[in-house]
Amino acid sequence: MRRFVLPMPWKPKFKPERPQNMFNRLFEKKHSDSLIDLLPGVRGRYKKDEPLKKYTWFAVGGPAEVMYIPADIEDLAFFMSTRPHNLPILVLGGGANLLVRDGGVPGVVIKLASPEFKKYSLGDHTITCGCGMYNVDLQKIMIENRIGGLEFLSTIPGTIGGSVKTNAGCYGREVKDVIISVRIVNGTGEIRDIPVNELMLSYRSSFFPEDWIITSITFRTTPDTPENIARTIAEQKKKRLKSQPHNVKTAGSTFKNPEGLKAWQLIKKAGCDHLSIGKAKVSEVHCNFLVNTGGASARDIETLGEEIIRRVREQTSITLEWEVKRVGVY
């Protein structure tokens, strides 16, 4: 009898997939598809497994299970009133003050990126801006319409909506100094106007139920000349470029200033001003900024931040509080 002998050593070209791994992969696909199927029919768009790193300044993090881009405020209100009960929701603004973890964000990430959320209208010494408008876009609007008072806001990275929720500020002014009211869609799909006194704005924080979504903001303005507005903006930009890192992947100030103190001074005192973990490092320009030097993971950045907190607490007995918002799963 003729025998055939395989040459040794022999290895299969393709490693067979374990049944359990195959089941997990099929289950994950089915689960993601089923979430889309459970969501209400809207005029906006749904995107499945949308990478979030391209929407954030750190440029790290996993995908959104589903991203929803509403067509307008009525579309958003319909979604909120008919969505599945207990559906996890995250509103994504300009991504300038956000760290998305590597495992991504389960549920639905709402991105108010349609043109309807970027419009503005002028009133009697007021301006109402859609929350999807970027702060930097205010500069041209202010100069063309001879309205001042918001120069500080126009130099802060991010969107108008995000600036309100964090009560953003710089150069001695905060959003709470100029805001009149906000329009929101709440968890049941109701559209409401909320006056500033109900927002409870304080240092880098505000009172907002998790299911409130800001759609537009009305600010107080003051008449001014285009020359004065342009000069004030230019001066503030110059200060920012001199004292803060730019053209790098960073999310702005990492930690809030403790009352009466400066976070960067505490970081420096604890010897953390040259600290790095993986591809994440403390900025050489301003040590309250963390930087993705290229290829950092969200875990690198968050671990670096937690190590700074630990060392500052060990050296000074003060616990720094994150200003950057961390979302998603590991």
Please list the active-site residues: 204, 253, 323
Convert 27-58 to b/e letters by CB count within 10 Å (16 or more is b): eeeeeeeebeeebeebebebeeebebbebbbb
CATH number 3.30.43.10 given to 29-115: yes
* pLDDT of residue 49 exceeding 60: yes
| CA distances to 35, 137, 190, 211, 273 from 66, in Å | 8, 28, 23, 17, 38
| CA distances to 73, 159, 250, 256, 267 from 292, in Å | 35, 21, 6, 20, 18
DSSP states along 260-283? TS-HHHHHHHTT-TT-EETTEEE-
- One-letter amino acid identity for 150? L
Share of the chain above pLDDT 90, in %: 75
- The DSSP secondary-structure symbol of 8 reads S
Q: State the Cα–Cα distance between residues 319 and 273, nearest whole angstrom.
A: 17
* pLDDT of residue 13 exceeding 90: no
pLDDT of residue 180: 96
* pLDDT of residue 272 exceeding 70: yes
pLDDT tens per residue, range 205-226: 777 788 899 999 999 999 999 9
pLDDT of residue 33: 58
Our CA angle for 248, 64, 71, nearest 5°, is 100
pLDDT of residue 203: 77
pLDDT of residue 14: 36
pLDDT tens per residue, range 275-314: 999 999 999 999 999 999 999 999 999 999 999 999 999 9
Q: State the Cα–Cα distance between residues 96 and 55, nearest whole angstrom.
A: 9
Residue with the bigger pLDDT between 2 and 300: it is: 300
Fold observed for domain 119-228: 3.30.465
Share of the chain above pLDDT 70, in %: 90
- Per DSSP, helices labelled H in 39-159 are 73-82, 138-145, 151-154
User: Would you state the CATH architecture of domain 245-327?
Assistant: Alpha-Beta Complex (3.90)
Q: State the Cα–Cα distance between residues 162 and 214, nearest whole angstrom.
A: 9
| CA distances to 52, 113, 158, 295, 300 from 93, in Å | 12, 9, 7, 23, 23
* pLDDT of residue 153 exceeding 80: yes
Cβ atoms 124, 221 nearer than 8 A: no
Chain position carrying tokens 């801006």: 129
- Per DSSP, helices labelled H in the chain are 19-38, 73-82, 138-145, 151-154, 160-165, 226-243, 263-269, 298-316
Strand, helix or coil for residue 164: helix
Chain position carrying tokens 């537009």: 216
What does the domain layout of the chain look like in residue ranges? 29-115, 119-228, 245-327
Q: State the Cα–Cα distance between residues 200 and 202, nearest whole angstrom.
A: 6
* pLDDT of residue 249 exceeding 70: yes
pLDDT tens per residue, range 87-125: 999 999 999 899 999 999 999 999 999 999 999 999 999
pLDDT of residue 98: 96
Strand, helix or coil for residue 231: helix
